[in-house]
Amino acid sequence: MTLTPDQIIMFELWGMPLNATIFYTWIVMALLTIASLLITRKLRPDVPPNRWRTTLEVIVQGIQSQIEEISRRPSRRLLYFVGTLFLFVAMSNLLLVVPGFEPPTSSLSTTTALAISVLIAVPMFGVNSRGLGGYLKTYLEPSVIMLPFNIISEFSRGISLAIRLYGNIMSGAVIAVILLGVAPFFFPVVLDVLGLLTGMIQAYIFAILATVYISTATTPSPSTQTQKDS
């Protein structure tokens, strides 16, 4: 049993071995890019939307409404970032139904990279919203004593994101192997349905947690808000 697609070497490119994680990540990226180009190629007011465009608009509006509900304000930049995370994780997990496909999210390197992107995005959004001094001040709240704990908390968020996503995908793979050994003709259909459901839930949870972390960094602290009101 192969626990991670990192162990599968697909081919060599210019003498460099490319494993399944990189290969299938490129496939997911290509599919998302091609699909977006095809769906939006006639994005004009005089052209009536087809069902694919309507589906995409529903997805985008759903993500946007969730972001606004959490952050309490519209943020198009946050929509671009969180929406990309959601679509990548969701597409990776949806392709589990394709025989032979190894989701890149079942690799700890991929989930760690996604978590690092969130860790980098949090201070970037925070500095853009509060300014450098205002964001750094949040590490001293509610007192200077909390500085090391706030720093540890910041990094623990990224670790928890990576482990949570990787653990859920891998646990599903392990359970699938066990059930297939028990009843190989009945469980595949059930596992495909459960895999799709679990994959969408994990994409949703990951996007929501990223939104919460970024919204926390960009929301004015109570003391700052009191000073503005006064």
Return the amino acid letter for 37.
L
Give the CA distances from residue 184 to residues 86, 180, 181, 198, in Å, rounded to whole numbers and listed in that order: 32, 4, 6, 20
Q: What is the pLDDT of residue 175?
A: 56
Cβ 183 vs Cβ 81: under 8 Å: no
Give residue-wise pLDDT tens across range 181-229: 555 555 555 666 666 777 788 888 888 888 888 888 887 655 544 444 4
> In whole angstroms, what is the distance from residue 111 CA to residue 106 CA?
8
> In whole angstroms, what is the distance from residue 47 CA to residue 61 CA?
20
Q: Which residue has the higher pLDDT, 209 or 163?
A: 209
Query: Can you give the C-alpha Rg of the chain in angstroms?
Result: 21
Q: What is the pTM assigned to this prediction?
A: 0.78
> In whole angstroms, what is the distance from residue 142 CA to residue 145 CA?
8
Task: Retrieve residue 1's tokens.
Answer: 């049993």
Cβ 10 vs Cβ 19: under 8 Å: yes
Q: pLDDT category, 116, cuts 50, 70, 90?
A: confident
Q: In this prediction, what percent of the chain has a pLDDT beyond 70?
A: 80
> In whole angstroms, what is the distance from residue 192 CA to residue 93 CA?
11
Give residue-wise pLDDT tens across range 83-101: 999 999 889 888 877 777 8
Calculate mean pLDDT across residues 171-175.
56
Q: Which of 207, 214, 179, 174 is nearest to 91 (CA)?
A: 207
Residue reference for tokens 């052209």 = 47
**How many CA atoms lie less than 13 Å away from 100 in the CB half-sphere?**
2
Task: Retrieve residue 216's tokens.
Answer: 């926390």
Give residue-wise pLDDT tens across range 13-65: 777 788 888 889 999 999 999 988 888 887 777 777 778 888 888 888 888 88
> In whole angstroms, what is the distance from residue 87 CA to residue 47 CA?
25
Q: What is the pLDDT of residue 27?
A: 92
